[in-house]
Every structure is written in structure tokens, then in C-alpha cells.
Amino acid sequence: MSRAVAVCHGPFGRVSIYDLDRPLVLHAHREAHLIFYLEGGMGRVDVNGQSIRVDPFMGVAINPWEPHNFQPERNGSFGLFLVVYLKPDWLAAQTTTPAGGLVFPSSELVVTRELAAWRDKAVEMLLCSRRELNLSAVLMALAQASSEPIGCDLASSLIHLAEEDAIDRRVRRACRLLEEHPSHEGVLASVAREAGLSRAHFFKLFKEQIGVTPTVFSNTVRLDAALDRIVMSRDPVTSISDGLGFSCQSVFTRFFTAHMGMAPSDYRRALRLVDSGAAARGVIGQGPREAAHV
């Protein structure tokens, strides 16, 4: 059974060390997403039709809302991975560029010496026993290093997604309703009916405009709502399951495990909340040794 070794949530997003031995379903995140191999069994990530081997020499960089999945190279073989989720608005605040849009120029992420040093620094901080961690600077440097192997600067690669006015009002309404009511499974069918569109036509329109299917979008919203409740409340898993409209706790646990690799109770046990502290801009361009005091 996969498990969370360490999990930290903060203003930057979240960063985790996972010990994974099972595949994850096709899913997406609203955050920019980095995956690095640490030890044990290696894995593969499929993103944008490309299969990438996650090993000591290659990581994966996934832009917001890019659908992807994970598959261990050998089923049942545990592998340790550093998994980073960075909020686009937080990244934009560090680089003074607009939020949203493409962050990484390529899904294939060559692990350079600099990138490996920042990765190892993030792991060291996650595993340390101090209650107060300032991960902000290290994670921003990790994101910056992840955008540099082909000469692309992170600040210049953060671009707007399609302007809201360019998105069909029916699709905007569906997104808004899903965000406001993550437990309402009938939202999409209802919006399609109101718009006078067939379900198939509406789903095609949604995928063209948002970049993911309505199902993937809905599951992302539901998973985010679950994570918020797991992280920010002491509510039992049963109450969280009921609040999100799952028929029973076991169905919720299966949903969460299919997307995260572990049960919600296991995720909560490994959780720490951290304060990102000062902005990362002051250490971009420094090496890990100079930032080690952060």
C-alpha cells in the first residue's frame, strides 16, 4: 500500500515525499507539478501522449490542468518520489508575471546537477524535525531550475491561459458551479440541458475550451475540496465523505486512493502545515549552500 512519508502544505501549494507502489488514474491539478525520483522502484508518467520514465536522470514537469497518470515500472515495487505542487498565483507573485498558463516548456525534465541539489535540499527540509520550515525559497529555486535546461526563463514562460471572455459562457457556468458545489454530481448534465446541447456536444466543447474533460475537471475540484477539509479541519473522514456527496466512506477512500495513491487517513498522518515566510526572490540565483539557512 502506497504511503505518504512527509507532506507539507503552505502558501506555495504542497510538497510531499510519497512511497508509491500502485498506479494512479488519469487526473490533473490546477497547480504546476514536478515529480522527481529518489530511490527504490522507478515509474512512468504519461502526459500529453508522452510516456516519461522517472529515474535518477529524468524528472517530469507538468503544467496546470495537463492530464497525466502514474504507473510504477513494476507493479508492487515501491518507489520513493518527491512530488511538488506549486500554485500559479504564488509563482506569479514571485516573478511579477500574470498568474496562470504554461510554466514549464517541456514535460521531460533533465535532472541537472543544480536541479538535483535543490531537489535534495527540499527533501532534507521535509524530513527534518523542526516545526517551522521556510520552504518557499527552495521551492521557487526548484521551479526556476526546472525551467532552465532548454534556456527558458520561468518568468517569461508564465503566460495567461485563454482570457475568460474567450471561454464559452456555458462552459464558464459549468466550471463555476462545479467550484461552488463540488458534491453536486448533476451539474454538468444540468448545464448541458439549460444550454440546449447534447451531453456529447457539451463535453466536447468543455474539453476544447478548458483542456481537460468535464470528468477530470470535476474530480480535480472534488479532490481539492477533500484536501482542504483533511488539511484545515479535524473532521473525521466519514464527515468529509458525507459533505462531498460520496455514498459512503469506502467509495470516498477509493476515489482518494486512486488519485493520491494512499488513503485520506494516511495522508493526514504525514501532514505538516508550514509558513512560507519571506518571498523566494531573494535567493533565486544562489546555490543550495547559500540558501541552506532558509
Residues 57 and 181 in one domain: no
Residues 171 and 200 in one domain: yes
| C-alpha radius of gyration, the chain, whole number | 19
C-alpha cell at 277: 515566510
pLDDT score of 187: 72
Show Cβ contacts of residue 7 under 8 Å, excluding neighbours closer than 6 positions: 14, 15, 16, 17, 267, 270, 271, 272
Q: pTM score, two decimals?
A: 0.84
Give pLDDT, residue 134. 77
SS (H, E, C) 78-98: CEEEEEEEECHHHHHHHHCCC
The per-residue pLDDT for 185 is: 64
**What is the phi-psi region of residue 166: left when phi exceeds 0, alpha when psi lies from -120 to 50, beta otherwise?**
alpha
- Tell whether 114 and 63 lie within a shared domain: yes
Expressed in angstroms, the distance from the first to the final Cα of the chain is 34
User: Is the same domain home to 106 and 118?
Assistant: yes
Give the separation between CA 249 and CA 252, rounded to whole angstroms. 5
Are 128 and 231 in a shared domain? no
Closest CA to 63 of 90, 92, 87: 87
If asked whether residues 191 and 156 sit together in one domain, one would say: no
* CATH code, domain carrying 129: 2.60.120.10
- Report how far residue 21's alpha carbon sits from residue 93's, in angstroms, rounded to the nearest whole number: 36
Residue 291 lies in a domain: no
Report pLDDT for 101.
Answer: 52
State residue 283's pLDDT score. Answer: 34
In a domain, 289, yes or no: no
> In the prediction, which pLDDT does 259 show?
94
Same domain for 157 and 168? no
33 lies in which domain range? 3-161+275-284
Whether 157 and 168 map to the same domain: the answer is: no
Q: What is the pLDDT of residue 280?
A: 34
Decide if 79 is inside a domain. yes
The reply to whether 91 and 207 lie within a common domain is no
- Do 169 and 64 share a structural domain? no
Is residue 290 domain-resident? Answer: no
Distance of CA 179 to the CA centre of its chain: 17
Tens digits of pLDDT across the chain (294 residues): 789 999 999 999 999 999 999 999 999 999 999 999 999 999 999 998 899 999 999 999 999 999 999 999 887 789 999 999 999 888 888 765 554 456 788 899 999 999 999 999 999 999 987 656 678 889 998 988 887 543 344 544 443 443 445 678 888 888 888 888 787 667 777 777 777 778 888 889 889 888 888 889 989 999 999 999 999 999 999 999 999 989 899 999 999 999 999 999 999 999 987 654 433 333 333 343 333 333
Q: How would you classify the pairing of strands 3-10 and 271-273?
A: parallel
Res 282: pLDDT: 34
Q: Which sign, positive or negative, has the C-alpha torsion 238, 241, 245, 249?
A: negative
74 and 208 in a single domain? The answer is: no
Q: Are residues 149 and 254 in the same domain?
A: no
Cell numbers for 266, please give them.
494516511
Strands 3-10 and 13-20: antiparallel
